[in-house]
Structure 1
Amino acid sequence: MADTYKRLILEGIGGPWRMDEAEIPTPGVGQILVKMKVSSICNQTDLNTIRGYHPPHDYQIQMMVPHDMRKYRGAVPDELSDVYPSRDYPFNPYPTTMGHEGMGEIVAIGPMPEPVQKFAHPHGRLMDLTPTFKVGDRVGLTGTIGGFGEYVLTVPEECVLIPDTLTDEQASLTEPVMVVSGVIKQCVRQDDDVLILGQGALGLIATQLAKLYGARRIITTEPVAFKRELSKKFGADIVLDPNETNIVHAIEEITNGRGMPVIIECAGVPDTIRMIPYLAEYQCRVGQIGACCEPVLTDWSYIHFKGMRITCQMQGNLVGTTPGHSGKRAVKLMERMDLDSLITHRLDFTVEATEQIFKEIEEKADVIKAIYTFK
């Protein structure tokens, strides 16, 4: 194989993008080298990284959080700056590699340390901790850094074996399905009524999964007509347009004032999050999926007054299980989902195509999932 590979680099807030050529790495102890086949764009987090709101993923894993980005881009003082931690984040987050979703083929495996074969499950069950792979395996990547590139260096815990029943394009959505399924599994029970705020890629995945987990009635909200139609196709019983309808009043009418027992927030914007206390039924289970990076004015006290339980994607994937186990569960669900309808754009792996697709995403065009395919 060639000695070098291409990868996209984001130089700073707003760009520019640069196509970098780097030496193909040799996997070290505990590492796996994956030749990428398909990489997908995460509309919200990737766009917000370009805008300087979301920490780049290779810095997020080093504990960078949204207020660090506000300080970095000079968006202080703001209404919260007097309570920010005093210590500044020690690294410059740009330039950064991009891409944390996708799939590929294992081409090399480094020496593996002695695996930890079992660990104690909170409910007394023993589970395998270290997944095993071989060269030639097709794997979905679950949060791996640098997916906008022809090769990725990763670890077994971030790989999920892909069966022949899934195409490469379908398998590129392993990570988003995994993170959404962790929330849905915690929040949705048989015969629940479920409200899903937002029908972008994650919201549409949540709609399909809520149906698979046995929801009785699914209500969704979405301002884009094309996405509202997909929402109906994927199982939504009622689809509301927030540009035409007061969502709180509509839910009040639909539920005769009780509110919703399950709310899944997938839009990741303040306008949807601030409504949640008034949409919630007493003892409501709230799943937070959208990656909002802006401060939100909300009635926090309703967690107390209504006894709301709030969970998020990281809890669903890391508590009482392993990433590999969550990934296996996601793959089983993916075999029962319509993933092809989510892929709306197929891109050339170029700077020009990258700049154009993010312009379309920012302008609220009909982009659900855009993917790069590597030769």
Structure 2
Amino acid sequence: MGKTMKALRMYGPYDFRYEDVPVPEISEDEILVKIDTAGICAGDVKTLHGGIRIWGTGDSDRYIQAPCIGGHEFFGKVVEKGSNVAGIEIGERMISEQIVPCNNCSYCRSGKYWMCRQSDVYGFKDHTQGGFAEYMKFHKNAINHKIPEKLSREQAVLIEPFACSMHAVERGKICHNDVVVISGLGAIGLGMVTIARTHAPRLLIGLDMKENRLQKAKEFGADIVLNPAETDVAEEIEKLTGGYGCDVYIEAAGSEKSVNQGLKAIRNLGRYVQFGVFKDLISADWNIIGDTKEIDILGSHLGPYCYDAVIQGMADGSIKTDGIVSHTFKMCDWEKAFETAEIGPDAIKVAMRP
């Protein structure tokens, strides 16, 4: 390999640049991976458009350390390893969990590493550069997993988003008699559908405004799919549940309307899971949560302890993935890739390859 590589770096809102950068240098505890494929997350698109969650309102609350190589959905093959690295061989396919824990804070020490106070996610920090590049360094504190050869490229690039799907479903504590609603059927929402199906809920409902995603949800196990642009979702869910509402509502759209729809559709004592990320601050009637319905509000962040289970589920076929990767571009065509991810009528998961 040469001393430089091509990478997509983020300098500011609307200022991404595909340019030459040095190939990362690794320590004796790290590995260097040649990136095979990297997925574009909805959060990456929101980052391009100046999402306040990433860029903040100024230096004091800015999450990203720009310029930075983006990309937290990735996998590749090991091409170099440090002298202290054991159990990993050159040529093996590897994925690294999206967060690199500090291993020192109280969350890390208690095993809740995904809530690490440093919150160093690949693709946003100086020392955790991401996978939108030819090569990537897996940090010495990284949590890495081997990818079996039987998984296709399209499956491997979905491990990270589906790990997020699995964690959100687990947060909902789905039981066999539950009516479960998943709002937003992008790649992660569809992952939630196929994983929620394995919990055997009484009724599984998917919500989206794109017909191809609704049909894919039915393929993946949804009993009913609804388009909020055509149906009063809360009213329809009341009809389906004898006027009570759903037991579990998982918000995966990152939409203010989806949030308020969920608060209206959920039953008294229901469980609301917030996974979707919002570009801007939103408003909701907070009284519904306490004074009206006494809802359990549960956040869902990343995919802790889910990677191996997702890999196994993909390998044995219990987790469906067919057709989720809808488009693949060369990384040099990143502008077209991001545009497709944002507004492509048939796009679900858009991926890039160096």
Flag whether TM exceeds 0.5 (same fold): yes
Given the alignment of the two structures, is residue 300 of structure 1 paired with residue 305 of structure 2, yes or no?
no
Poorly superposed stretches of 4+, deviation over 6 Å = none
- The whole-number CA distance in structure 1 between the counterparts of 2:65 and 2:261 is 32
Deviates more, 1:236-245 or 1:136-145: 136-145
Q: Check conservation: 2:37, 2:153, Cα contact below 8 A.
A: yes
- The whole-number CA distance in structure 1 between the counterparts of 2:52 and 2:351 is 21
What does residue range 113-192 of structure 1 map to in structure 2 within 5 Å?
A: 132-143=87-98, 144-145=122-123, 146-155=130-139, 157-187=142-172, 188-192=174-178
- The whole-number CA distance in structure 2 between the counterparts of 1:97 and 1:180 is 25
1:244-299 CA-partner distances (Å, limit 9, x unpaired): 11111111211121111011111011110122221111221222121113222212
Partner of 1:341: 323
- The whole-number CA distance in structure 1 between the counterparts of 2:221 and 2:228 is 19
Structure 1 residue 55 displacement after superposition: 4.4
Q: Which amino acid aligns with 1:184?
A: V
Q: Check conservation: 2:340, 2:347, Cα contact below 8 A.
A: yes
Partner of 1:373: 353
Aligned partner of 1:219 among 205, 213, 216 = 205
Given the alignment of the two structures, is residue 247 of structure 1 paired with residue 233 of structure 2, yes or no?
yes
Structure 1 residue 312 displacement after superposition: 2.7
What does residue range 306-321 of structure 1 map to in structure 2 within 5 Å?
A: 306-314=293-301, 317=303
Q: Which amino acid aligns with 1:8?
A: L
- The whole-number CA distance in structure 1 between the counterparts of 2:307 and 2:199 is 17
- The whole-number CA distance in structure 2 between the counterparts of 1:96 and 1:266 is 26
- The whole-number CA distance in structure 1 between the counterparts of 2:63 and 2:202 is 48
The DSSP-based 3-state class of the residue aligned with 1:341 is: coil
- The whole-number CA distance in structure 2 between the counterparts of 1:92 and 1:196 is 29
Q: Which amino acid aligns with 1:153?
A: K
Partner of 2:111: none
The aligned length equals: 320
Partner of 1:41: 40
1:106-155 CA-partner distances (Å, limit 9, x unpaired): 22222549xxxxxxxxxxxxxxxxx9533322112321332110111113
Structure 1 residue 161 displacement after superposition: 1.3
- The whole-number CA distance in structure 1 between the counterparts of 2:61 and 2:205 is 40
The DSSP-based 3-state class of the residue aligned with 1:182 is: helix
Listed as ranges, the gaps of 5+ residues in structure 1 are 57-67, 73-86, 114-130, 318-322
Q: CA 1:249 to 1:176, structure 2 compared with 1: closer, same or farther past 3 Å? A: same
Given the alignment of the two structures, is residue 236 of structure 1 paired with residue 222 of structure 2, yes or no?
yes
Partner of 1:11: 11
Identity of aligned residues (%): 28
Q: Which amino acid aligns with 2:14?
A: G
Partner of 1:53: 51
Q: Check conservation: 1:11, 1:18, Cα contact below 8 A.
A: yes
- The whole-number CA distance in structure 1 between the counterparts of 2:246 and 2:131 is 38
Q: Check conservation: 1:200, 1:368, Cα contact below 8 A.
A: yes
- The whole-number CA distance in structure 1 between the counterparts of 2:249 and 2:7 is 38
Listed as ranges, the gaps of 5+ residues in structure 2 are 99-121, 124-129
Structure 1 residue 340 displacement after superposition: 3.2
Partner of 2:179: 193
The DSSP-based 3-state class of the residue aligned with 1:301 is: helix
TM-score by length of 2: 0.83
Structure 1 residue 230 displacement after superposition: 1.0
Q: Which amino acid aligns with 2:50?
A: G
- The whole-number CA distance in structure 2 between the counterparts of 1:163 and 1:54 is 38
1:315-334 CA-partner distances (Å, limit 9, x unpaired): x74xxxxx4x4211221222
